[in-house]
């Protein structure tokens, strides 16, 4: 027993000694600057006529004054450890990410030209999470003004009409653009690049409906932003409404030429109260971050706003961020795989 322990101790000492050696391709002074100073300082090694520091050749072939370099090669620590039977710690295995999320509708859409009729980076990110991205995924926001009269439309009617308007405008614009390019005269020596047929258009609109039924969209300025958040706090609860409109061309090209489906999702959001960590100073400080300046209601649930403003929610989280993804995929299946079917209880409409 003592003999085997003695042998193991010798093996460890051999490896430790080899590890302790400095690399041969670096000067000894790199490991011991005090020794180098001692050897070449004027006090410890005064200059004498005809003597110079040792010369050696650099990696670029030029001669330079430096100290002598050790001749031996750097030891192979791994080989030395294995030769003496010392086990090595293995590297951790590479952690691979999750496998792609696959659904028949996603597989189908990956081969089609899909247009998101919105400039919202949150909606783009939510769709990218489920695999809708890449060369066939196009961002084309509607340029029509959102001027539907709020006084003649309730919150649900207003948000639904706005999303429908966006989808139709973007689809019609894309089709007209394709026809214009196809009918244009070809230029000699230049290939005419005709856009691919539109496979699907996804449009959405999000608003805030206050407890009294008032419609809130994005704040107009900083003063309006502060006032909006204070109102949401003081009224405690409000509704986030997101209308999704999905449109695809009809396979049989029957009137009106496309299939359209719509859905409006509702989520209740409860704000914290002034005596529970949300005084005016916190709201004013949040507004200065500009995080919610481009969002309906003036706050971002997925950001600082969700941490300091919101107490709790009832309903779909994605809906508050900007797009109820699960319901959006259901609408995509409806307009692509089940054209002509009427879903009971849905708010789909046919174009007159």
Give me the active site residues, please: 205
**Long-range own/partner contacts, residues 217-225 (CB < 8 A, 24 or more apart):** 217/146, 217/296, 218/293, 218/294, 218/295, 218/296, 218/298, 219/292, 219/293, 219/298, 222/287, 225/287, 225/292, 225/293, 225/298
Please tell me the distance from the alpha carbon of residue 13 to that of residue 7, in angstroms, as a whole number.
10
- Assigned token pair, 337: 């795989």
Tokens describing residue 43: 């006090």
Cβ-contact 117, 142 below 8 angstroms: yes
Which position has the token pair 């409906």? 209
CA-nearest of 52, 78, 73, 79 to 63 is 52
Distance CA 127, CA 328 (A): 9
Beta-carbon contacts of 195 under 8 Å, excluding residues fewer than 6 positions away, are 113, 174, 177, 178, 181
CB atoms within 10 A of CB 222: 13
323 and 123 Cβ atoms separated by less than 8 Å: yes
């Amino acid at each position: 027993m003592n003999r085997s322990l003695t042998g193991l101790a010798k093996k460890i000492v051999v490896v430790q000694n080899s590890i302790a050696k400095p690399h041969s391709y670096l000067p000894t002074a790199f490991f011991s600057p005090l020794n180098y100073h001692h050897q070449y300082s004027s006090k410890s090694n005064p200059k004498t006529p005809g003597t110079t520091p040792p010369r050696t050749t650099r990696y670029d072939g030029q001669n330079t004054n430096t100290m002598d370099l050790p001749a031996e090669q750097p030891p192979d620590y791994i080989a030395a450890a294995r030769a003496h039977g010392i086990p090595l710690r293995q590297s951790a295995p590479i952690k691979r990410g999750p496998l792609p999320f696959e659904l028949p509708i996603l597989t189908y859409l990956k081969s089609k030209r899909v247009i998101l009729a919105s400039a919202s980076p949150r909606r783009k990110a939510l769709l990218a999470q489920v695999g809708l991205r890449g060369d066939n995924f196009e961002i084309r926001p509607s340029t029509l003004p959102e001027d539907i009269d709020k006084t003649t439309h309730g919150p649900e009617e207003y948000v639904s009409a706005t999303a429908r308007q966006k989808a139709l405008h973007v689809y019609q614009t894309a089709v007209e653009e394709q026809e214009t390019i196809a009918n244009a005269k070809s230029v000699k020596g230049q290939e005419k690049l005709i856009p691919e047929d539109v496979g699907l258009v996804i449009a959405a609109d999000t608003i805030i409906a206050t407890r009294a039924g008032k419609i809130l969209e994005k704040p107009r300025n900083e003063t309006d932003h502060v006032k909006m958040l204070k109102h949401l706090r003081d009224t405690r609860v409000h509704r986030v409404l997101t209308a999704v409109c999905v449109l695809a061309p009809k396979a049989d090209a029957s009137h009106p030429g496309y299939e359209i489906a719509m859905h409006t999702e509702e989520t209740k959001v409860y704000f914290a109260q002034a005596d529970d960590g949300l005084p005016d100073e916190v709201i004013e400080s949040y507004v200065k971050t500009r995080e919610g300046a481009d969002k309906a209601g003036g706050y971002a649930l997925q950001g600082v706003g969700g941490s300091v403003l919101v107490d709790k929610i009832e309903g779909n989280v994605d809906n508050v961020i900007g797009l109820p993804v699960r319901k959006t995929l259901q609408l995509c299946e409806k307009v692509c795989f089940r054209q002509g079917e009427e879903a009971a209880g849905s708010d789909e409409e046919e174009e007159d």
